[in-house]
């Protein structure tokens, strides 16, 4: 399994992750990107478990503030 984590409070809303990986990312009305179907973890960040990172890796690589993390378990 793979974990995708977004430190959502630090998102600057550039839209890069949404453009690169719309299967998993969308823009919300507050101007920040949302990792679809994610849940808040103990640290208060948004987290989603997936089988493979897929385009989330490219989304993480493209994030200008580096707040998308891919963790291989």
Contacting positions for ligand SF4 (CB under 6 A): 6, 11-17, 33, 62-65, 67-68
Report the C-alpha gap between 26 and 34 in whole angstroms: 5
Shortest distance, position 52 Cβ to ligand SF4, whole Å: 19
Residue 53's Cβ-side half-sphere holds a number of Cα atoms within 13 Å equal to 15
Shortest distance, position 14 Cβ to ligand SF4, whole Å: 3
Report the C-alpha gap between 41 and 45 in whole angstroms: 6
Shortest distance, position 32 Cβ to ligand SF4, whole Å: 6
Choose between 12 and 40: whose C-beta lies nearer to ligand SF4.
12
- Whether residue 8 contacts residue 32, with contact meaning beta carbons closer than 8 Å, is answered with yes
């Amino acid at each position: 399994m793979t974990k995708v984590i977004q430190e959502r409070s630090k998102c600057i809303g550039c839209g890069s992750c949404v453009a690169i990986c719309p299967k998993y990312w969308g823009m919300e009305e507050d101007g920040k990107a949302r990792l679809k179907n994610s849940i808040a973890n103990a640290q208060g960040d948004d987290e989603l478990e997936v089988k493979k990172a897929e385009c989330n890796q490219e989304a993480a690589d493209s994030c200008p503030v580096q707040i998308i993390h891919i963790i291989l378990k």
